[in-house]
Structure 1
Amino acid sequence: MSDRPVFVIGCPRSGTTMLQLMLHSHPRMAVPPETRFLVPAYYRRRTWGDLRVPQRRKALAQWIATDRSTKFRELKIDKDEFIRQAVEGPGSLGSVIGTAFRMYADRFDKARWGDKRPSYVKQTDLLLRLFPDAQFIHLIRDGRDCVASLKEMPWYTLDSFHAVSTWAEAIDAGDRLRRTLPDDTYYELRYEDLTDDPMTEMKKLCHFLEEDFAPSMISPREAASQAVPQHKVWHSNTHREVTRSRVGSWANRLDEWEIALCEHVLGERLLANGYELTGAPRPAKEHVTACQKTMQKRKASRSRKAMRDRFNRLREPSPVGALLTTTQQSLAGIPQQRPEVTV
Structure 2
Amino acid sequence: MSELKKILYLGVSDLGKSNVEWYYYVFKESFYRFLQDKRINAQINIDLYIIQENYDFDIEKYDLIIIGSGPYFGLNEILNIYHRAANFNIPIVSWCTGFGSTDKIEEQSNELSELLLDLNAVSVRDYKTKNHVVSLVESRNKDIWTLANPLFLSRDSIEIQKNESEDILVNIDQQLDEHTEEQFEIAIQILLNKGYLITLNPLNLKARKYIKFFGEKFTEDRLSIIEETSSLNRLKRLINQSLLTINTDNDVSVLSASVGKPFISICKDDNIKEFADYIGFQKLVHSNEQLHAGLILQNVDDIQSNYCQMLKQIKKVKNSYSFDTIYEEMINILGLKEMCKESRIEINESLAGSIPEHYSGKEESPIFVGGAGRSGTTLLRVMLNAHPNLCSGPELKLLPMISDLYNQTNQLTSIMHSYHLEKSDINDIYATFVSGFFRKFKNWSKADRIIEKTPHNVLIMKELANIFPKAKFIHVVRDGRDVASSLVEMNWRDFQGKPLWYVQNIKNAAKYWAQVVNKAINDSNHPQLRDNVLTIKYEDLINQPEQIIQTVLNFIGEPWSPEVLNYDQVDRGYEPEESSTKQVSKKLYTKSKNRWEKQLSQQDKENFKQIGGQLLVELGYVKTFDW
- Specify if TM > 0.5: yes
- Asked whether the 8 Å contact 1:22–1:217 carries over to 2, the reply is yes
CA shift digits 1:188-235 (9 cap, x unpaired): 1100001001001111111111110111112311346257523x3543
Match of residue 475, structure 2, among 125, 138, 142: 138
Match of residue 100, structure 1, among 427, 430, 437: 437
Q: What is the aligned partner in structure 2 of residue 41 from structure 1?
A: 402
| CA distance in structure 2 between the partners assigned to 1:41 and 1:276 by the alignment | 37
| CA distance in structure 2 between the partners assigned to 1:227 and 1:34 by the alignment | 13
Q: What is the aligned partner in structure 1 of residue 550 from structure 2?
A: 203
CA shift digits 1:225-259 (9 cap, x unpaired): 257523x3543101101221101011112222111
- Asked whether the 8 Å contact 2:397–2:454 carries over to 1, the reply is no
Cα separation, partners in 2 of 1:133 and 1:185, compared to 1, 3 Å: same
Tell me whether 213-222 or 37-46 shows the greater mean CA deviation. Answer: 37-46
| CA distance in structure 2 between the partners assigned to 1:8 and 1:92 by the alignment | 22
Q: What is the aligned partner in structure 2 of residue 284 from structure 1?
A: none
- Asked whether the 8 Å contact 2:484–2:509 carries over to 1, the reply is yes
SS of aligned partner of 1:155: coil
- Asked whether the 8 Å contact 1:225–1:239 carries over to 2, the reply is no
CA shift digits 1:46-92 (9 cap, x unpaired): 79x98xx9xxxxxxxxxxxxxxxxxxxxxxxxxxxxxxxxxxxx971
- Asked whether the 8 Å contact 1:259–1:280 carries over to 2, the reply is no
The CA deviation at 1:162 is 2.1
Residue 169 of structure 1 pairs with residue 506 of structure 2: no
SS of aligned partner of 2:558: coil
- Asked whether the 8 Å contact 1:6–1:113 carries over to 2, the reply is yes
Runs of 4+ in 1 over 6 A off after TM superposition: none
Residue 122 of structure 1 pairs with residue 459 of structure 2: yes
- Asked whether the 8 Å contact 2:462–2:523 carries over to 1, the reply is no
TM-score, normalised relative to structure 2:
0.36
Cα separation, partners in 2 of 1:32 and 1:234, compared to 1, 3 Å: closer
Q: What is the aligned partner in structure 2 of residue 22 from structure 1?
A: 383
- Asked whether the 8 Å contact 1:31–1:227 carries over to 2, the reply is no
| CA distance in structure 2 between the partners assigned to 1:183 and 1:203 by the alignment | 20
Task: Map 1:54-133; keep pairs closer than 5 Å.
Answer: 92-133=429-470
The CA deviation at 1:164 is 0.9
| CA distance in structure 1 between the partners assigned to 2:403 and 2:533 by the alignment | 22
Higher helix share: 1
Q: What is the aligned partner in structure 2 of residue 10 from structure 1?
A: 371
TM-score, normalised relative to structure 1:
0.64
| CA distance in structure 2 between the partners assigned to 1:136 and 1:41 by the alignment | 17
Higher strand share: 2
The CA deviation at 1:277 is 6.1
The CA deviation at 1:26 is 0.9
Letter in 1 for 2:533: Y
Larger RCO: 1 or 2 (CA < 8 Å, sep 6+) = 1
- Flag structure 1 segments of 5+ consecutive residues without an equivalent: 54-89, 282-343
Tell me whether 207-216 or 96-105 shows the greater mean CA deviation. Answer: 96-105
Length, aligned pairs only: 241
- Asked whether the 8 Å contact 2:507–2:608 carries over to 1, the reply is no
Q: Percent identity over the alignment?
A: 25
SS of aligned partner of 1:246: coil
Q: What is the aligned partner in structure 1 of residue 607 from structure 2?
A: 261
| CA distance in structure 1 between the partners assigned to 2:383 and 2:473 by the alignment | 15
Cα separation, partners in 2 of 1:173 and 1:95, compared to 1, 3 Å: same
